[in-house]
Structure 1
Amino acid sequence: MSDYPKSLVGLYNYKGTQYGIPKDFDTVGLWYNKKLFDAAGVKYPDDTWTWKTVQDAARELTDVSRKQYGILAPPFGQENFYDTIFQAGGSVISADRKSSGYDQPAAKTGLKFWTDLVKAGYSPSLKSMTDTFPSQLFESGKVAMYYGGSWDTLTFAKNSTLKKNIDVAVLPEGKKRAVVIHGLANVAYAKTKHPKEAASFVAFLGSRQAAEIGAKESGVIPAFNNTQQAWVKANPQFHLKSFLDEVPYAVPLPTSKNTNVWANEEPTTFAPAWDGKTDVGAAAQQMAGLMNTALSKEK
């Protein structure tokens, strides 16, 4: 498994047993609209940016009279608050996957980063981001910054107007650097009638050759180390290397045996905080309780 990012390998390892061979992965970057930055006289994001830099830039890039916003702050886990929770030094779930991290101060800090942006008016309202998907709002050219995935690359590259005006940088630093990494793995059915053939095919899918083919044809970042440059070169107008630069400090997407049971509670639990109807700390405590109940039922 040394041929793949360590943080990605861990996603498919349970109690020391590897259940899948990594196929591809994704990380999250700070997409930004250069046209809006230029008009406001704000310098483009780079690897020196911190949370404060983002907040200051969001303020300068917001123009209410033109219905222009500095940043998108949706209540999304992988693309938004998971990243800032990790950057604040917190966790979503404990290392043994038995308890929630939402009731910890760092997690609340990571969540508050986003609710503060909405409260200040630097981001569209929760209703606006619910009515129109955030990436589409970014494509409209009316929002300057968007925490989006490497998977957004193909969509943005197909937008002939947008692709000339945008680029991407690594995520800004909080208390430390962190980003969520996720991806797919190839597996074989344990009870297949053709175990040798299945094993051989999965081995091929996890090879350098397959990764190089995928990088050129599929539009996703191949998991096999040192094959990602083909993906970067496929869209040279964007600084896609940013997504690769983040891998050394990437954190696996938080999961448990039945992730969806608690993850599906996040949107409805956090929505009142994004709407300003409840304190984000109280929402985090509520989510911790729901999550701990769900985790206690896992076997």
Structure 2
Amino acid sequence: MKHSASAVALSLTAVLALGACSQTTGGSQSTENKDATVTLTYGVWSQQDTMQKLVDEFEKENPNIKVQLQVDPWTDYWTKLQVGAQGGTAPDAFWMLGDRFQVYAANDQLLELDDAIQKAGVDYKAYPQPLVDLFTYNGKHYGLPKDFDTIGLWYNKEIFDNAGVAYPTADWTWQDVKAAAEKLTDSSKGIYGIAAPLNRQEGFYNTIAQAGGSVISADGKKSGYSDPKTQAGLQYWVDFIQKGQSPTLEQFADTEAVAQFENGKVAMYYGGSFYAQRFYENSALRSKVNVTILPKGEKRATVINGIQNVGYSKSKHPEELKKFLVFLGGKKAAEIQASTGAVIPAYENTQQAWVSSMPEFNLQAFLDQIPDSVVYPVSANTAVWNKFEETDLAPAWEGKESVKDASDKLADQMNDALAKE
């Protein structure tokens, strides 16, 4: 799974139609006749094998409820979901991300779950609090966290060894990264010390928080981009490009940053826990790389994000749907996910199986950062100002504008957009 910043900025506007919503074998009496069989649909964009294991386990425990898994590629998924939610044909259950959640909740397209969660005796303390907050709207809960991801400092041990540089540790600061990037950069071999793409979740959202700045105010009403501390978090990345220690924005357009890291052209990469399985399955890369916690700026911080399982408010089978959603957010479902290595499950004390599934990597680093995690910045219509982040900050990354000028412009546009929400 990848919750990349560039992907989250994709437009919600779409023209494709979604397939049919849930059907029943037993007819409309399904919620009244305990012997009737109800079929729910479950929309996802990846992890098909793992999700099928969850479905199989749920069906074993609930023989009168069948679940049809619907898997669509990322772009198609959001296109179909928007049209389906508006037109009454969305899947019964589906994945949701924090930056899109409020749009669906505000339009009454999500099933409120507080009664079902309370009835099941679920304790919200079983999940990282920032994830619970991210998917709470007007004091109501519309799902339970499925998984989460934090960001770590991935590094290529072979490049470090060749340059005679000690591997990063949990004690590293920004200054340590800057010193290492200079030593690791070897233009004669086309090797860069670090990758500094224009990336939200894996990049500047983390350093903004580490510098003591903010992307958006706590109430979601004001941009934080005019704050000098926020701008310091952006300058951190721009400096690497200006010094020739990172590929340029143009080079990232040709080959994405994670691919350049995999190809051995970049020594350090701020990357999510969601890359662990991808790197691990690359047999040529597995022994060469490892990961540690993010370096400290003014303070420690990492962005936390994740998937929430939510339900469609117009589902024909709300009671069965609630039962399925509570199961998906429970301990057993989390343990199944952890055993596959696909993601870090959100349920407490179930993550160790994920850490152990790839012992060559220091995956504990991603869990150690949970106490310092900050919630992914969102508002009622995040996608609008996400676009401004890309267009306004790009000139700073390209060296055409100062970080201050680009950020101040972004703050003005973002504030205008927030005022219209």
Q: TM-score, length-normalised on structure 1?
A: 0.98
Partners of 2:173 and 2:295 within 8 A in 1: yes
Equivalent in the alignment of 2:214: 91
| Aligned counterparts, 1:120-199, within 5 A | 120-199=243-322
* Counterpart among 145, 167, 170 of residue 22 in structure 1: 145
Contact residue 277 and residue 341 of structure 2 kept, 8 A: no
Residue type matched to 1:21 in 2?
L
Offset, 1:218: 5.9
1:163-242 aligned at under 5 Å gives the runs 163-217=286-340, 219-242=342-365
State the alpha-carbon separation in 1 of the partners of residues 366 and 125 from structure 2: 20
The 5 Å alignment of 1:62-141 reads: 62-141=185-264
CA contact (8 A) 2:145 2:306 kept: yes
2:368 paired residue among 228, 241, 245:
245
Instruction: Count matched residues.
Output: 298
AA at the equivalent of 1:147:
Y
C-alpha separation between the residues in 2 aligned to 1:108 and 1:138?
26
Per-residue CA distance 1:163-221 (angstroms, 9 max, x = gap): 11000000000000000000011122223232221111111111100000011236011
* C-alpha displacement of 1:15: 2.8
Q: Does the CA contact (< 8 Å) of 2:148 and 2:305 recur in 1?
A: yes
- Return structure 1 stretches of 4+ with deviation > 4 angstroms: none
What is the aligned counterpart of 1:268 among 391, 394, 415? 391
**Structure 2 residue identity aligned to 1:238:** F
Measure how far apart 1:19 and its partner are.
1.8
The whole-number CA distance in structure 1 between the counterparts of 2:341 and 2:278 is: 13
Helix, strand or coil for the counterpart of 1:70?
strand
Q: Give, in whole Å, the separation in 1 of the partners of 2:177 and 2:250.
A: 22
Q: Distance in 2 between matches of 1:47 and 1:164?
A: 20
- Residues of 1 paired with 2:202 and 2:311: CA distance? 30
Deviation at 1:271, TM superposition (A): 1.0
CA distance in 1, matches of 2:372, 2:316: 41
Q: Deviations over 1:68-92 (max 9, x none)?
A: 1100000101110000000000100
Identity among equivalent positions (%) equals 53
Deviations along 1:82-123, one digit per CA (max 9) or x if unpaired, are 000000001000001001000001100000000011101110
Counterpart CA distance in 2 for 1:138 and 1:194 is: 46
* In the alignment, structure 1 residue 44 sits paired with structure 2 residue 167: yes
Could you report, residue by residue, the CA deviation over 1:273-298 in whole angstroms, capped at 9, with x for unpaired residues? 11111101110001111111110110
Q: CA separation in 2, counterparts of 1:217 and 1:44? A: 29
Query: What residue ranges of structure 2 are gaps of 5+ in the alignment?
Result: 1-123
In structure 2, C-alpha distance between the alignment counterparts of 1:114 and 1:130, rounded to whole Å: 16
Structure 2: which amino acid aligns with 1:95?
A: A
Bigger Cα Rg = 2
Cross-structure match for 2:154? 31
Q: Give yes or no for contact 2:304–2:376 (8 Å, CA) kept in 1.
A: yes
The whole-number CA distance in structure 2 between the counterparts of 1:230 and 1:264 is 38
**Aligned-partner Cα distance in 2 for 1:204–1:79:** 30
Higher alpha-carbon deviation: 267-276 or 51-60: 267-276
Q: Which amino acid is 1:259 matched to? A: T
* 1:37-85 CA distance string (max 9 Å, x none): 1111111111100000000000010011111110000010111000000
Matched residue type, 2:419: S
The letter of the residue matching 1:114 is W
Aligned partners of 2:299 and 2:142: how far apart in 1? Answer: 31
Distance 1:111 1:249 in 2: 20
For 1:244 and 1:15, the matched residues in 2 are separated by 29
Gaps of 5+ in 1: none
Amino acid at match of 1:17: K
